[in-house]
A and B are shown apart, each in its own frame.
Chain A
Amino acid sequence: MSDKRKIKIHVEDLTLIFGKRKQEALKLLQQGVSKEEILKKTKCTVGVNKANLEIREGEIFVIMGLSGSGKSTLIRCLNRLNEPTAGKVYFDSHDITRETNKELLETRRTKMSMVFQKFGLLPHHTILENASFGLEIRGEEKEQREARAKRALGTVGLKGYESQYPAELSGGMQQRVGLARALANDPEVLLMDEAFSALDPLIKSDMQDELLQIQNKLHKTIVFITHDLDEAIKIGDRIAIMKDGVVEQIGTAEDILTNPASDYVEAFVEKVDRKTIITAETLMFEKFTFAEINKEGPKSIIRKMRTVGMDVLPVEDEDKKFLGYVRLQEILKLEKEKETSIKKVLKTDVPSVYKTYTVEDMLPLITETRYPLAVVDEENGKLLGIVSQTSLIIEATRFEMEEVIELKEKANEI
């Protein structure tokens, strides 16, 4: 679904080199010389190395990495607070890197607003004046800009604080002012550079929730920088992981957790609580064997079970709608009784889940049942796949396959 959204910002082979001998360093970089070598030879630091990103309209795109990974440098290339050495940044297919100074000012004033880690508020101005700063810069009339700033302050929950000064507010509230200042400009894109990193953990979490709420209303395109993977997973629709100026991987939180593209990403995601992120869609087995209720009798089902070596099969109707499970024991009984329909032994009171269910959601379900979990389509009830209990337990406990099987056997013996 998200893939159909328009691409808002397209970053193409973006490279940024710090230092005096940029062109020389760029040439070396293109020849494949390493960062360290370039630093030694030219005293230039490679901040961003051939980054490619496509940021879609209305998504929260998180760029994550440790300090020095080039993420803050990269976001500053989007509004050219840092001047890219090579590569392109397309905003609505219009190349920002080739804008004249005047066009650039216009872009910064109307299309992109930024929120900073250290807030960047003016200490000698009131909250209202701070929130209307962007509008003042672009020359709006006092009345109009204060009305808009007031509305933005209301959006971030700072009504009533208009005439106070930044120093009188807590860090979280100051950052709300920073956010209000950015929102007052009504930009198409919000650039948030470690916006919540300076805040206390609890306040940080509040601010994340609030940002998500605001995003639900406003649907801005947000580029969010963080070094905190939990934050990235919580708010990011998609995440790009950066290391040493290189974009290592781009994908949804789940993509990154299930298929880390490199050892670095893997090391990064190891500590994350996967239970809340991994969904049924990732775990489900799609090429499962099933029985069709009106077509198949006990005989053919027994044969099917024997070929795949399973004693439970999901049952569908002709529209592929999930109905329930049948067990080998009962089917064998049916066969003895010469029954042709399996309807008698169909177990229908079994839990089924949707693709978006997480491991955490699914774990309680398997304690009540001995059947695998059926993943069904939310709209038409079609069976999409099967999540086995073993794979769920593996996900939840991070035990190896053998250990889980062993544990299960032990449990059965008891």
Chain B
Amino acid sequence: MEKLIDIGKYIEIGINALEENFSGLWRAIDNIISWTVDSINDIFLVIPFYVIIILVTVGAYYAKAGKKSFKKEGIKDGASLALFVVLGLILVWAMGYWEEAVQTTTLVIVSTFIALIFGIPLGIWAARSNTANAVIRPILDLMQTMPAFVYLIPAIFFFSVGNTPGVIATVIFSLPPAVRLTSLGIRNVPSDVIEAGYAFGATEKQILFKIQLPLAKTTILAGINQVILLALSMVVIASMVGAKGLGSIVYQGIQQNNIAKGFEAGLGIVVLAIILDRITQSIGKK
């Protein structure tokens, strides 16, 4: 059938115009992201793997056990997670994918960081203004349902292949829960507490920082947890535009029809996912 409307063409024209007119900006973004990812990678890879394993294990134990870390109950709480972290990370190292795992983790950290920088303020805005909410929500729906491959294309167009388009695609994909859960958390703060705040002469800023954000903390942390897991689930797709890490091993496995390679890298992703999930969940529960 003949096309009656050619939306694709307009999008293409728009993207082209953006690319040509703001090429300096894109290059700057590309440089910043590439430099950040590379630097973090380098730092992680300079540190011996066992030091990192010990640090992550201790961190996970502390996140889980909290203030009781040096008491009996704390050991009961945190021991199983600590054990899993040690064994999981040793497994990743023993399979020979330590460097890739570090690259993937870096990608997740950087994307999550960017997603939160945009997501939490947007969530606050959406919670406090119904107009903002009405505008932001359909955009979030679009970001979550539009297949990730579709925005890989312009990402390459702007940033060429490498880590940057991977990070950008990951940010777009993982941003929505940060916005949604921040907004949800703030909207769920009981109105009588807010009213009490106003009655005692709190400014809008005080209401936000002394009442809304602290009371929404648990929900916001659940959102951060979701952002991290979604970011991790994007690593394979991100590797298609040149992002390095475990995702690219899986991608190679697909291309080479190499079951062993694919499975091992996939297992590494699962280990990372479980560790990141349990640590962030424990922080959220405190």
* Residues of chain A at the chain B interface (Cβ within 8 Å): 79, 81, 104-110, 113-114, 116-124, 133-134, 136-138, 181, 185, 191
Contact = CB atoms under 8 A, between A and B. Distances in A.
Nearest to B214: A124
A108 B193 contact: no
B200 A119 contact: no
Interface residues of B, number: 18
| Consensus secondary structure, chain B interface | helix
Contact of B201 (A120, A122, A124, A137): A137
B196 A136 contact: no
Contacts of B203: 105
Contacts of A124: 214-215, 217
B195 interface: yes
A223 to B, nearest CB: 13
A123 B190 CA distance: 10
Contacts of A105: 201, 203
A120 B215 contact: no
20 contacts: A81-B198, A104-B201, A107-B201, A108-B200, A109-B201, A114-B200, A116-B195, A117-B192, A120-B190, A120-B193, A120-B195, A120-B196, A122-B193, A123-B215, A124-B214, A124-B215, A133-B196, A137-B201, A137-B210, A138-B200
A121 to B, nearest CB: 7
Nearest to A187: B200
A386 B210 CA distance: 63
Contacts of A113: 199-200
Top 10 nearest A-B pairs by Cβ distance? Answer: A120-B196, A109-B201, A108-B201, A114-B199, A134-B200, A118-B192, A120-B192, A105-B201, A137-B202, A137-B200
A138 B192 contact: no
Interface string B135-155: 000000000000000000000
B206 interface: yes
A136 B198 contact: no
B271 to A, nearest CB: 34
A136 B215 contact: no
B256 to A, nearest CB: 53
Given A119-B192, A122-B215, A123-B215, A79 B210 contact: no
